[in-house]
Structure formats: structure tokens, C-alpha cells
């Protein structure tokens, strides 16, 4: 058997230092670079999908972005509003004093006169007067005396008006329109009908403006329709009218640039293609000062509270006003929405959406960066990278809105980053699970469970493709096995051989060795791979000593059972070898060691017959354990240098040492 095995080793070709073993089907499923490339391509693919959704404005993600937009307002908090806007609130106290709503218009005429007498600069009604009432003339005269009253109109988008427009309504429309043909292409908000004030009031008012509101799909009011088209004319909102009149901007200087924005003198309000502008909210409900109509009528309000100011009159009492859901509050009265918009126009506090190009740039940059980085980290590192990218995106969205009035769309890049993280992490987990199964399947028959688990946790410990590494090899072979086989039945041979090999395997695993293979009755094991062990020579020698003790136990058992007694020799050598997967790629591969020092270990084992020794080690192994032997740290052992011998196939002599255990062997056993 030894001669056959030595012949087998002789025909293994010498491997050069820089050789690379090709990875086979049973090795690591992909290199790190390939894995990183696939992760990167996954991230780029997800980013491309998200870019398409951004272009087509995917509804679910748009809804998420709207909520993030609202949250930025909430996070910002309240901004101090200008002092020249107040709300004359028809509140609970006023209703309790003057009766249920709606009131007789002579009461509103009294309110108008009171505001005029206290020096209000402009009076804006957020109340529709579309139905006639007996005191219309009284209110009309009060509006005429004031000379600064704006009345609202409400457009109907379902039913057509039975009556034509009044002259004042037409004069209240935009007098100057640039590029009106663009509206035909982008479909402005078009009404079919209109509710206007009754004739006695409309004749006396300063101007008209619409009070229509257009909440988004989630019910939140974020946009103001600066222009609504009706019967070929374009009409401004009452807020735009109020800001223009208060600023002294003549109608011809209020210019609508179709699909782009509105010029209010030197101010410019950006709109979307349908003529809508984002509303800049100063804060939640009651950010603007409220003055009860009761207090105004009773004279409890000082002239300083009203003089020179825009006074917005609207209902705020519970049950009579239309609640408006805003980014700040679900219960803001519509009249305060008007106050927010008028104030923002007067103070030039505008919000405009980022361009598609800007949003796309943020998405692509963050997506590419995420794809590059996350591919190179495991789950914990990838989580940190994800957070490190999400935070700047969210911060950019917040500061762009608060500082520059720019609405950056951050939902797409944030969802994109999260999608890349989840996809890559899930993919990596699946790959690592598959890799772990392959590692376990490959090494479970070679090494202990502990080493298998370590290799799964730290794949870098096993360079499965093949590498040159210093290891210690152990060969053991049954003496006289050929003659033993001839004298016994195959069943007896297999039974006793299995018992012997099983016992020796247990010892090898006890000392954390890697079981390479069984070659008939011979065993090849090694230490130092796949997991690097600094003390590989020590472990191999301790294993050999333990194997001899276990063999003595087996021999006593076999004698007691009347069975033939087997004996074995052990050869140990230390040196640089090539370790890795060797075999036919895609068919059968083994994790094994090859090289000159492997051959030397086999030949040293063969010399145990010549010297009648159970354990022989080479000078290369002795160099690594000599200090331990002198210090007694290897246990009770005896070593004896035999001589330098010329091993078959070698020109240079190699020192050979015999090693045998002394009494008290239990002290050498691994605890």
C-alpha cells in the first residue's frame, strides 16, 4: 500500500509559486469583485426604474413625497407673519350675540362701515353673495363708501351658468397675457359656470377674484389656482387681486405668462403649466391675528389693530366654515388660507418645485453612490451607508424648502436608496446562505463543526481557489495490511478497518485537523488550512500522540475480543504546500494539499517500518515544537534524533526524529 501511494504522489506535477487554481462548481460561487459588480448593476437597474417613475410621476410615490413635503413644514415650524393682515372672524361669540349664520346683510354693512371708520386699508370678503337679499342695497352702499372692498366669485366646474358674465367680472380678469396659446396645449383649469355677487353688490366692489380651492388627492391644500379660465377669459384668485390692489399695481401690470408664472409689478410668482402656485404657509391655524366680529362691532378693537391693514372677513365658528386640510393643520379656516397666500405674495415668500432635471440629478447621484458603496459592505456596514446617504437627502430637501423655497422631490431618491439596500442585502443574504451551504457541504467531512462555522463567518479564512500556505501534514498507514487482507474475509477486513478509521478520525477532529482523505487503510490529514492556525505543528504532534494512545486501546479491545490486532505508523512533516480545490471542474473536486512537503510526509511515514517507530517527524516539524518539548509544554514525551537520511526522490538529507509518549498520558489529552 505505501509503495502504491508514493507512486501516486510522484506523478503529481510540481506547482509554481504563482499558480492559481481555477474555481470549480463546489468552490466559492463568485469572487468578491463579481459579487460587487452584480450588486452595483442591481442598484443601477433599480435607479433606472425609479427614474422612469419620476418622469411619469408615479402616484404612490408622489403621495409619499407630498407627505414628506408637509412634514418639512411641520419641522420648520411657524414663521412670523406680516403685521398688515388680520382676520375678522365670524366666530362662536359673534354667532351667540347676533344669531345663526348667515346674517342679514345690513349686519355686514355695519361691519364694513366700522372697518372703514377705523382705517382698514382693504376689506376682503370670503363670503359668497350669489343670492339676493332685502338688504343688498344697504351692503352695496357700505361697499361703495369704503371703496376698497374685494368680493369673491366661485367657479362651477360641473354646471354651466345660465347668465352671462358681468362687465366687472370681465374687467377683473387678466388684462395682459403672454403666450396664451400655451394654455391650449397644457389645459388650464377651465370652469363651466360661475357664481357672482348680486348686482347691487357687484356694481360697487373694487374688483372680483375667485375663491376656488383645489386640494390634492389626499385632501391637503398645497396649491392655489392663480388663473382659472372661463368663457375664454382668465381670472385671478382673490388673493392675487388683494396683493395687487394693496401694492398699488395697476391691472395692466398684472401679467400672466401662460404655463410659467405671474408678474405682479416687479414680483414674479412661479406657477406650474396649469397656472397653479404653491402656497407658502406661515404656520398652523391662528398664526395670523384673529379679531372677533363681535369685538369690532362693539368697538372693542382699537384703530391701531386695523388701520392700514388688509382685513379678511370670513366665518370661523364651528359648523359654519369649510375646514381646510393644510400641511400644518387639518382644521384651518379657508379665510386663513387666503391670509397666508396674500402675505406670501406681499413678502415674496414663494415656493417653487425643483425642475425635473434637478430632481433627476439628485436621484441619479444618490442612486449611483448608493450602488457603488453598498455593494462593498455587509449588512451592518450597508445599513450605516444607507443612513449616511438618506440623511443628506432629507437634509437637502428640508433646507432647500426652508432657506430657498425650493421643493426638492426627495421621496424618489430616498425610496430608491432603501430599495437598493433591501435588494442588495436580500441578494447578499441569499448568496451567503448558498455559500454557507456549500462550505458546510464541502468541509463537514474534512473538519470539525467549529471550523466549518468559523469559515462561514469568515470566508476569507479559506481561499478556496488555491494558495500556497505552510501546513503540517500527517500520514498514518496500517502495517502489514496486505497480508491481513489475504487472511481474512472481506467482511472482517471492512469491519475492523472501519472501526480503526472511525477512531482515528475522531482523534483528528478532536485536535481540529482537516481530514484530507482515506487511501485504503492510510489516512492523510493536515493542519493550518482551511483556517489558519499558528500552532499547526503542535496540534499535529499532539494528535499523533493521541492516535497512538487510542490505537493501544483498540489493540487491547481486539485482543480481548479475539480479533486480529492492527498496528500503524505515523509520519509528520511541516512545510509550504499548495492547498485548495483540486479535481475535475464541475464533476468532482476535493479540498486537498499537494507539493513536495506532502510527498516528504508520506515517505517519512514509510520509514517507521525501518526504524520500528510509531511516530516519526521531520526536522522541519521539530524546529517548531523544540522549544515546547524543552519546556515540557508538550506533555510527557520522549524524542530521539535518528539520523539524517536521504529520502527516496530527494537529493538533500532530511533530519528524522522519533517521538513516543511516556506514562501519564492523560495530561496530554485535550481538555
439-469 pLDDT per residue, tens: 655 555 555 555 555 555 555 545 555 778 8
Per the CB < 8 A criterion, the answer to whether 345 and 245 are in contact is: no
Q: Is residue 113 part of a domain?
A: yes
**Quick one: pLDDT at residue 380?**
83
**Quick one: pLDDT at residue 5?**
31
Q: Which residue's entry shows cell 357664481?
A: 195
Same domain, 361 and 324: no
Same domain, 261 and 364: no
Domain end marker among 397, 416, 436: 436
Same domain, 482 and 418: no
Same domain, 191 and 297: yes
Q: Report d(CA 47, CA 357) in Å as an integer.
A: 15
Domain end marker among 378, 413, 436: 436
CA torsion sign, 88 to 90 to 92 to 95? positive
Confidence of residue 1 (pLDDT cuts 50, 70, 90): very low
Task: Output the 3-class SS for 235-293.
Answer: EEEHHHHHHHHHHCCCHHHEEEECCCEEEECCEEEECCCCCEEECCCCCCCCCCCEEEH
Taking CA atoms, 570 is separated from 302, 531, 612, in Å, by 111, 23, 11
Q: Is residue 542 part of a domain?
A: yes
Q: Is residue 665 part of a domain?
A: no
Same domain, 489 and 541: yes
Q: Report d(CA 175, CA 254) in Å as an integer.
A: 7
Same domain, 341 and 380: no
Same domain, 216 and 119: yes
What percent of the chain is modeled with pLDDT above 90? 58
Domain end marker among 436, 466, 500: 436
Bridge partners, residue 666, by sequence: none
Mean pLDDT of the 173-190 span? 85
User: CA-CA-CA-CA torsion for 373, 377, 381, 385, nearest 10 degrees?
Assistant: 10
Please tell me the total count of domains within the chain. Answer: 3
Same domain, 336 and 377: no
Q: Is residue 46 part of a domain?
A: yes
Tell me which residue of 347, 283, 302, 262 sits closest to 118, measured CA to CA.
302
Q: Is residue 611 part of a domain?
A: yes
Same domain, 411 and 532: no
Same domain, 389 and 505: no
Mean pLDDT over each residue of the chain, to the nearest integer: 85
Look up the domain containing 365 and give its range.
Answer: 36-66+354-436
Same domain, 178 and 196: yes
Q: Is residue 24 part of a domain?
A: no
Task: Output the 3-class SS for 451-489.
Answer: HHHHHHHCHHHCCCCCEEEEEEEEEEEECCHHHHHHHCC
Per the CB < 8 A criterion, the answer to whether 353 and 360 are in contact is: no
**Quick one: pLDDT at residue 368?**
94
Q: Is residue 636 part of a domain?
A: no
Q: Is residue 626 part of a domain?
A: no
Mean pLDDT of the 153-164 span? 80
The conformation of residue 260, written as its DSSP 8-state character, comes to: T
Mean pLDDT of the 577-598 span? 76
Provide the pairing of β-strand 85-90 with 290-292: parallel
Per the CB < 8 A criterion, the answer to whether 436 and 506 are in contact is: no
Omega before residue 102 within 30° of 0, cis: yes
Same domain, 44 and 96: no
56-101 pLDDT per residue, tens: 987 789 999 999 999 999 999 999 999 999 999 999 999 999 999 8
Cell numbers placing 93: 361669540
Q: Report d(CA 296, CA 294) in Å as an integer.
A: 5
Q: Which CATH number does the domain housing residue 453 bear?
A: 3.30.70.1230
Mean pLDDT of the 234-250 span? 95
**Quick one: pLDDT at residue 668?**
44
Amino acid at each position: 500500500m505505501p509503495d502504491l501511494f508514493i507512486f501516486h504522489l510522484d506523478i503529481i506535477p510540481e506547482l509554481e509559486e504563482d499558480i492559481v487554481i481555477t474555481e470549480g462548481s463546489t468552490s466559492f460561487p463568485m469572487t468578491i469583485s463579481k459579487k460587487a459588480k452584480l450588486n452595483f448593476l442591481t442598484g443601477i437597474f433599480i435607479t433606472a426604474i425609479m427614474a422612469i417613475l419620476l418622469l411619469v410621476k408615479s402616484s404612490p410615490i408622489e403621495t409619499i413625497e407630498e407627505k414628506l413635503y408637509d412634514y418639512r413644514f411641520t419641522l420648520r415650524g411657524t414663521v412670523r407673519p406680516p403685521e398688515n393682515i388680520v382676520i375678522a372672524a365670524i366666530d362662536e361669540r359673534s354667532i351667540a350675540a347676533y344669531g345663526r349664520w348667515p346674517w342679514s346683510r345690513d349686519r355686514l354693512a355695519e361691519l364694513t362701515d366700522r372697518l372703514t371708520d377705523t382705517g382698514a386699508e382693504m376689506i376682503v370678503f370670503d363670503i359668497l353673495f350669489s343670492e339676493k337679499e332685502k338688504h343688498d342695497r344697504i351692503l352695496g352702499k357700505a361697499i361703495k363708501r369704503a371703496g376698497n372692498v374685494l368680493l369673491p366669485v366661485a367657479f362651477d366646474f360641473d354646471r354651466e351658468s345660465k347668465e352671462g358674465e358681468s362687465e366687472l367680472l370681465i374687467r377683473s380678469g387678466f388684462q395682459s397675457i403672454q403666450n396664451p396659446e400655451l394654455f391650449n396645449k397644457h389645459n388650464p383649469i377651465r370652469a363651466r359656470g360661475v357664481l357672482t355677487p348680486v348686482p347691487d353688490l357687484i356694481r360697487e366692489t373694487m374688483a372680483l377674484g375667485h375663491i376656488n380651492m383645489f386640494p390634492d388627492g389626499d385632501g391637503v391644500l398645497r396649491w392655489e389656482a392663480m388663473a382659472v379660465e372661463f368663457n375664454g377669459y382668465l381670472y385671478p384668485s382673490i388673493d392675487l387681486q388683494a396683493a395687487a390692489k394693496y401694492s398699488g399695481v395697476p391691472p395692466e401690470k398684472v401679467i400672466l405668462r401662460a404655463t410659467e408664472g405671474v408678474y405682479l409689478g416687479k414680483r414674479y410668482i412661479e406657477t406650474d403649466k396649469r397656472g397653479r402656485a404653491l402656497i407658502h404657509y406661515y404656520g398652523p391655524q391662528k398664526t395670523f391675528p384673529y379679531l372677533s366680529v363681535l369685538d369690532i362691532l362693539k368697538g372693542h378693537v382699537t384703530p391701531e389693530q386695523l388701520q392700514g391693514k388688509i382685513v379678511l372677513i370670513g366665518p370661523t365658528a364651528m359648523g359654519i366654515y369649510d375646514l381646510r386640510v393644510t400641511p400644518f393643520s387639518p382644521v384651518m379656516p379657508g379665510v386663513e388660507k387666503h391670509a397666508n397666500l396674500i402675505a406670501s405674495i406681499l413678502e415674496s415668500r414663494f415656493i417653487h418645485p425643483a425642475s425635473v432635471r434637478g430632481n433627476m440629478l439628485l436621484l441619479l447621484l444618490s442612486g449611483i453612490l448608493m450602488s457603488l458603496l453598498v455593494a462593498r459592505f455587509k449588512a451592518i456596514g450597508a445599513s450605516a451607508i444607507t443612513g449616511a446617504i438618506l440623511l443628506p437627502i432629507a437634509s437637502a430637501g428640508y433646507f432647500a424648502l426652508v432657506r430657498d423655497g425650493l421643493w426638492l422631490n426627495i421621496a424618489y431618491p430616498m425610496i430608491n436608496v432603501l430599495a437598493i439596500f433591501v435588494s442588495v442585502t436580500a441578494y447578499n443574504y441569499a448568496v451567503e446562505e448558498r455559500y454557507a451551504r456549500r462550505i458546510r457541504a464541502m468541509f463537514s467531512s474534512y473538519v470539525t463543526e467549529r471550523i466549518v462555522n468559523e469559515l462561514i463567518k469568515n470566508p476569507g479564512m479559506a481561499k478556496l481557489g488555491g494558495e500556497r500556505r505552510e501546513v503540517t501534514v500527517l500520514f498514518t498507514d496500517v502495517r502489514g495490511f496486505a497480508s491481513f487482507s489475504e487472511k481474512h474475509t472481506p467482511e472482517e477486513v471492512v469491519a475492523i478497518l472501519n472501526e480503526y478509521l472511525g477512531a482515528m478520525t475522531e482523534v483528528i477532529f478532536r485536535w481540529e485537523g482537516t481530514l484530507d482523505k482515506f487511501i485504503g487503510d492510510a489516512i492523510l490529514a493536515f493542519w493550518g488550512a482551511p483556517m489558519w492556525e499558528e500552532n499547526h505543528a503542535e496540534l499535529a504532534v499532539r494528535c499523533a500522540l493521541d492516535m497512538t494512545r487510542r490505537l493501544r486501546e483498540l489493540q487491547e479491545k481486539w485482543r480481548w475480543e479475539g480479533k486480529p490486532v492492527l498496528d500503524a505508523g505515523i509520519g509528520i512533516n511541516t512545510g509550504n504546500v499548495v492547498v485548495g480545490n483540486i479535481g475535475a471542474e464541475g464533476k468532482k473536486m476535493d479540498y486537498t494539499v499537494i507539493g513536495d512537503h506532502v510527498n516528504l510526509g508520506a515517505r517519512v511515514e514509510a520509514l517507521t517500518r525501518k526504524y520500528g517507530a510509531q511516530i516519526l517527524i521531520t526536522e522541519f516539524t521539530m524546529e517548531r515544537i523544540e522549544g515546547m518539548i524543552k519546556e515540557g509544554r508538550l506533555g510527557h514525551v520522549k524524542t530521539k534524533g535518528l539520523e539524517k537520511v536521504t529520502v527516496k526522490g530527494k537529493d538533500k538529507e532530511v533530519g528524522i526524529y522519533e517521538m513516543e509518549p511516556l506514562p501519564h498520558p492523560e495530561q496530554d489529552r485535550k481538555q
